[in-house]
Amino acid sequence: MEFLVQGITQITWQQILMWIIGGILIYLAIAKELEPALLLPMGFGAILVNIPMSGVLNQILPGIGEVHGIIDWLFEVGIESSEMMPLLLFIGIGAMIDFGPLLSNPRLLLFGAAAQFGIFATITVASLLKFPIHDAAAIGIIGAADGPTSILVSQVLKSNYIGPIAVAAYSYMALVPIIQPFAIKICTTEKDRKIKMKYNPKSVSRMTRLLFPIVVTIIAGLVAPASIALVGFLMFGNLIRECGVLRSLSETAQKDLVNLITLLLGITISASMKADVFISLNTLLIMGLGLLAFIFDTMAGALFAKFLNLFLKEKINPMVGAAGISAFPMSSRVIQKMGLEADSQNHLLMHAVGANVSGQIASVIAGGVIIGLVPGLM
Amino acid sequence: MNINVINSLKLMGMGMSAIFLVIIVIYLSVNIMLRLTSEKK
């Protein structure tokens, strides 16, 4: 009857710690409603993969040989071999995004680019902490504020830290309403935050909306070919939304596809949350660096807007620059709220939404650029 | 200086330049599209 106690006798303190971490993720998802669609499956998966001789992982059974476990299999097929899951998620994200506010005020595109600085600043800090360049780049991409991009880049670069990176990316995305106000207040004054911006959107024709995803795909593909999978799938989703003849597919992509892939992605990522890999000092460092990346991004966007204000007659509220991160629509809501706190008549929502969707485009371009450049530096 | 740090600074320079280049080309293309497809009143 020894087999009945085998599971209990083989348990390690690291595995028990992972159950607690899984429990915390489930608590945050349910009680605090922080990214529940992802943190809940990740939390439950963390428990599943940290049970001794867990059947959800590949096992060598005496007399039988290797037996495949479902979570290891999902990881191999859905993430490791082709990055299928994060890429399919981009179709749904593209279908959800209305680029109208950006197209009606295209100069907001620049803020999306500026806010990606946090990625590279964090890569430098991670390198100073002696992470190899491919791991540093995978950690820095947490600053893309985009979970699927973080997972995809860290997987393509064969980083050892895909689990902590995914946890950091999704946790901090959920904490944007706390992180961004803190970072914005560091680099802006009360006077900056009170700057009002006129909203005079250009009219956007249906043809522009249709051409936009195609043109962006071609430009990004020609200049940064490594970004084409990310940008292409995002823009494909948006074309489904804008074409007007695939309403049913667009709705499916926005709801069912996103829900299904998110659910599978969460539980699949837990394959990288095995105690022997996850429990290390580096995991704590990665959580710290991820937070730094979000702060750097926000400050870079705000400071870039302040820099542009040196040359502009009609000033830009620096908080709009800070919305150039990919966390959509949380970041725009934060900026609208902060604008109203500074002045009850200061409505910044539409400007912030434009910068925010620009951040979505720029973050996938950043992901592709990093995938393209890092192998040459290794 | 650590070779990794030098590489990360190189990456920062090349990466930010590439992102701004793509975004500026998209910005110019959007302006052209808006001009070409605007409905005349």
CB contacts under 8 A, A 293-352 vs B, are: none
- Residue pLDDT, tens place only, A102-119: 998 899 999 999 999 999
Whole-number pLDDT of residue B1: 67
Cβ(A71)–Cβ(A45) below 8 Å: yes
B32 and A CB contact within 8 Å: no
Q: Token pair of A259, please? A: 């829900």
E strand or H helix at A59 = strand A59-61
Residue of B nearest to A211 (CA): B33
d(CA A329, CA A323): 9
Task: Search chain A and give the residue with CA nearest B22.
Answer: A220
Q: If DSSP codes are grouped into helix, strand and coil, which group holds residue B32?
A: helix
The radius of gyration of chain A from alpha carbons, rounded to an integer in Å, stands at: 22
Query: Mean pLDDT of residues grouped by 10 in chain A (378 residues)?
Result: 78 93 92 85 93 87 86 89 86 92 90 95 94 94 87 90 87 84 93 89 86 94 86 94 93 93 88 87 92 94 95 92 87 91 90 92 93 90
pLDDT tens digits along A320-346: 999 999 888 889 989 999 999 999 989
A62's CB contacts (< 8 A; 6+ apart) are: none
Closest among A109, A176, A121 to A146, alpha carbons compared: A176
| Residues from chain A contacting residue B31 (CB–CB below 8 Å) | 106
Sort strands A65-67 and A59-61 into parallel, antiparallel or unpaired: antiparallel
How much is the pTM? 0.87
Cβ proximity of A122 and A286 under 8 Å: no
Q: Give the C-alpha distances (Å, rounded to integers) separating A371 from A312, A347, B40.
A: 35, 38, 44
Closest to A103 measured CA to CA, from B18, B33, B25 = B33
